[in-house]
Amino acid sequence: MVLASGTALVAGLSDFDRVADAPVALALLIALIVAPDRVRISLFERASTSPATVPAIVLACLFGPLGPICGEAAIALTHKGPRLKRLVDFGLLSLSGVAAASVFAALPHPHGAGLLGVSGLAGLAYYAANSVLISVVWRLHEGIRGLDAWLVRMAWLWPHNIAAGLVAGVFLLGERSIGTSAFLIFFLPLGMSWVTQKQYLDRSRSSVEELRRSHDELQRANGQLESLLERTRTSYLSTIASLARTIEAKDPYTGGHTERVGEYAQMLARELGFAEDDLEAVEVGAIVHDIGKIGIPDRILLKPGRLDAEEFAEMRRHPEISSYILEELDLPQIVYDMARNHHERFDGNGYPDGLAGEEIPLAARVLTVADAFDAMTSDRPYRRAMSVEEALAEIRNGAGTQFCPAVAEALDACFAAQPRR
């Protein structure tokens, strides 16, 4: 109502003589502002535009503020939308036309290229007034910041309005030269071009909307797949852990070994700067590292005393059995490395591949220390558990021969920061 009232006030103060002097031109321009508005183009939900801007600027030049006000009044009367929306549109677009008319009033009687320049400025003034006023309406109606809405929906339209002003200037030059014939010569091609553009954009919009629907469906499907994969991964790890614990459960002296080794391995890997994804792989590797013992006879696996040479040779097969069990599964490389190489020695005298030094994957060297440390600090049938200090000293003494020096140092650093007894 405020916009409409302001427009009515401007109309009341306008010069009616200019309208009375050229009623035919006024009627033609009003028809040209009403008809194109019927083919307004929605620009992908950000704004809408129509060629009616061009005749509105021509009206502003020829008839002053009253010209565009009459044109917008005709649109408001012929539309069938909600009354409030028609009033708002009437006020917004009329005052935008008034802004364009003020440019022509400030720079009267231009000719030639000067008329084109003034018309371009009028188009920019039309845009400035329209964008400011509509941003205020968006703020009041939609509750969003006017600047935010303007940046998304209106900021990029200013060249279009300058171009509309220049087109209006070209028409004005033609109208001065050949009179009313300029209406047919000029606006018919413009209208045909606009209809063609609208058809193209309507088809493009349909394609964009179809792409959006497809994108939304893909996102939903992707979310469902990720959820399924996560459930599958959880179930899979639970199965692997259960298999590993069936081996552990055979030996009452190794209860909790898997969890403790996993805890120590992750502690060491974190100290050594492993990435977060690799830490998860270290956890899995610690769980399954002894899965190959399922292929070792119980008479050897559960023997209370020390193994003889033949039995030890059989026991040494379990890393290779682990590799065989795991090789068909989709696991990170770290897991395979830990299962196969955690009995390698830094001096090259380990098994099964006789790797030495940094030939041994770092995750396997981490597991070697974690596994040995837990074994030393756990009770066995043939010896009592060592203290943490004693086990740390053993690891330290074995650095460079059995154990990787860097991992041994990391173990010392971990217990220096968080002592465990």
The length of the chain in residues reads: 421
Q: What are the pLDDT digits (tens) for 140-196?
A: 766 666 566 666 666 767 787 888 888 888 878 877 777 766 666 666 555 555 555
Q: What are the pLDDT digits (tens) for 201-260?
A: 566 666 667 777 777 777 777 777 677 666 666 666 666 667 666 666 665 545 577 888
Q: How many CB atoms lie within 10 A of CB 321?
A: 19
Mean pLDDT in residue range 368-381: 87
Q: CA–CA separation, 346 vs 366, rounded Å?
A: 11
Q: Which residues of 36-73 are buried (b: 16+ CB within 10 A; e: fewer)?
A: bbeeebeeeeebeebbbbbbbbbbbbbbbbbbbbbbbb
Residue 311 has pLDDT above 80, yes or no: yes
Mean pLDDT in residue range 337-352: 94
Q: Are 388 and 421 in contact (CB under 8 A)?
A: yes
Find the helix packing angle between 276-288 and 257-271, rounded to 10°: 150
Q: Which residues of 363-391 are buried (b: 16+ CB within 10 A; e: fewer)?
A: bbbbbbbbbbbbbbbbeeeeeeebeeeeb
DSSP summary character for residue 21: H
Q: CA–CA separation, 112 vs 79, rounded Å?
A: 37
Domains and CATH numbers, the chain: 2-216 (1.10.1760.20), 251-417 (1.10.3210.10)
DSSP labels for 127-141? Answer: HHHHHHHHHHHHHHH
Both tokens of 327, joined, read 């090789």
